[in-house]
Each structure stands twice: as structure tokens, then as C-alpha cells.
Amino acid sequence: MITIIDYGAGNIRSVLRACAEVGAQAFIASDPQVIAKAEKIIFPGVGAAPSAMKNLIKTRLDAAIINAFKAGIPILGVCIGAQIALDSSEEGPQKCLGLVPGKTVRFRLKDKLLKIPHMGWNEVKVVQPHPLLAGIKPGDEFYFVHSFYPQPAEKINIYAVADYGGDFCCALGSRNLFATQFHPEKSGRLGLELLARFANWDGNIDS
């Protein structure tokens, strides 16, 4: 059973519907006590990292997520979920979850023809194998919509990159946490397959 965390950061029902499509049992929760008992967690979000983080703190969900991470519960972060897994964000002074060392940064594009937000379909290039990325082939594209991206401090935490005026990290991970800047729930069959793999994942990166 997957617990999808609702902390008032965007449309999370699309994640719930995508789980249903792949036959993964999931429900939405916003109570830290419910999340403390979760078997698996999806941590979505759209909007701005600082306000998302403030909401998490206000609802005391920050501690619930940190505890779940420490307890080895498989966690999938999506979009803002990936950004606030890091220590901080250039989008605001608010401290983030700090599950993975690094910082969320703004696109600094030299090419004036590239538009911000980075919105649309782009190739996800796997740079390090991960059970949740199994089966992704060169040329496979996922759906993005964002103006900031996560930049882990250590290469070991970077699992995939995408090219937008240069390569940027679009999938990061550490132990039982995996997080994507792209939206698997909006990425057609390939995204649904990633969610299905998460539904079957035991949280071990070697599995």
C-alpha cells in the first residue's frame, strides 16, 4: 500500500489515478500519524520549494518524512518532492529536508531561445543504474515542467540527467529514497512503468 502525502502543494490526485492505472493500491494522507505507519511513500508537489517546505513544517510532515527515510521506507519524490529532499533551494531561504546533500538551483541559460519554465517532453539519460530506472532506453522521454532543478553535491546521488542548455540532474537517490524532477504520472506508458516498479520496490538500490 502506497501513502501519497498531501501537504497542499498541488494536484496530487493525478498521482493517485496513475497508481490506480498500474494496479498499485494507494491512498492520500496528510496526518503525520498515518504517515508514520506507511509502507511506501510518494511525495509529490508542484509550485515553489520554500512554500512547500513551510507547509510541511506547519503540518509536521517534515519529521514524518525524515523518520520514514531513516526507517528504510521506500520513498518516491516527484518534482518539488525531489527539490526539497536536498538541503536548500535558491528559490528561497527556507531550509529543506536535507535527506540528500545538495541544493536546488535555478536554470542559468545562455541560449536566449531556451524558455523557462523547462516545459514539455525531454530525454531522460540514465547515468547510474537504479532498480526504478530499469528498462529505460536511450531516447526515452518524460514530461517536465519546472524552473529550478535539484543539484546533489555528490555524483553518487545522481541517477539520471536531461539536457536543457546542458545536462542537469533529473533523478536522484539515496538508499530507500528516489526522486524525479520529471512527472512519471504525466509521462505516459514509461512513467506508469516507473510507478509500477516503485510499487514493487523494497527500497534496496541493488534489488
Instruction: Return residues touching other proteins (CB under 8 A).
Output: 11, 13-14, 17-18, 20-21, 46-47, 115, 117-122, 137, 139-141, 143, 145, 163-164, 185-192
Instruction: Give the cell for residue 104.
Output: 536546488
CB-wise, 90 or 140, nearer to other proteins?
140
Tell me how far apart the alpha carbons of residues 168 and 163 are, in angstroms, rounded to a whole number: 6
Note whether 6 and 46 are within 8 A (CB): no
Q: What is the dihedral of CA 118, 188, 186, 78, to 10 degrees?
A: -90
User: Which grid cell is 193?
Assistant: 512503468
Q: Which of 118, 130, 146, 183 is catalytic?
A: 183
Residues near 21 by Cβ (< 8 Å), separated by ≥ 6?
Answer: 192
What single-letter amino acid sits at 17? R
In the complex, minimum distance from the CB of residue 43 to other proteins, in angstroms, rounded to a whole number: 19
CB of 189 to other proteins, least distance (A): 6
Our CB check for other proteins shows the closer of 103 and 125 to be: 125
183 included as an active-site residue: yes
Q: Is 185 a catalytic residue?
A: yes
Which residue among 130, 170, 185, 193 is the active-site one? Answer: 185
CB closer to other proteins out of 137 and 155: 137
Preceding omega of 117 cis (within 30 degrees of 0): yes
Least distance to other proteins, CB of residue 160, Å: 15
Q: Known catalytic residues?
A: 79, 183, 185
